[in-house]
Amino acid sequence: MPATTEPSPWDDGGVLPSVLMIRPGFAIPAGELTWRYSRSAGPGGQSVNTSDSRVELSFDLARAPSVPERMRARALARLEGRLVGGVLTLAASEHRSQLRNREAAAARLADVLREATAPPPRPRRPTSPTRGSVERRLAGKKRRSEIKKDRGGGRRGPDE
């Protein structure tokens, strides 16, 4: 039986939210997500060969209207290795139930997008080393030099 594909209505009694919050100013409505179901490998008991519990969640990052432009550019750059035609796809099959796999895939999508749209870290402000750290470094070098100098190493001539 081929995998079934449907746009995401999230019509499972309100267990999954109608909007997936990523960060302030960035939420994905359920209608922009595409769900695909197939049979999962692994444990499942008697129903393992009859239920489509594996979930693939796809989100068109390049064309989704809900993504703010500055966050879209940042996410496209950071996720370029994971995108196929601007679409990010995640699979979840670790649970026996389709609903739990849908929740896992949605949570994973939110985590990936939250990390990809995070602002870049503040640039490092260069500072010069303190006098104490310079003195400690030089004292350590001097100590090491003495240790190496004091090692006995064969015969030495009068000029060494």
> What pLDDT shows up at residue 37?
86
Q: What tens digit of pLDDT does each residue of 29-48 get? A: 988 999 988 887 766 666 66
Please check whether the domain covering 4-116 is classified as CATH 3.40.50.720: no
Tokens of 96: 């026996």
Sequence ranges of the domains in the chain: 4-116
Q: What tens digit of pLDDT does each residue of 100-153 get? A: 999 999 999 999 999 999 998 999 999 999 999 999 999 999 999 999 999 976
CB neighbourhood size of 79 (10 A): 17
How far apart CA 137 and CA 127 sit, in angstroms, is 17
How far apart CA 75 and CA 44 sit, in angstroms, is 36
Tokens of 123: 């640039």
Percentage of residues of the chain with pLDDT beyond 70: 79
Position 74 pLDDT exceeds 70: yes
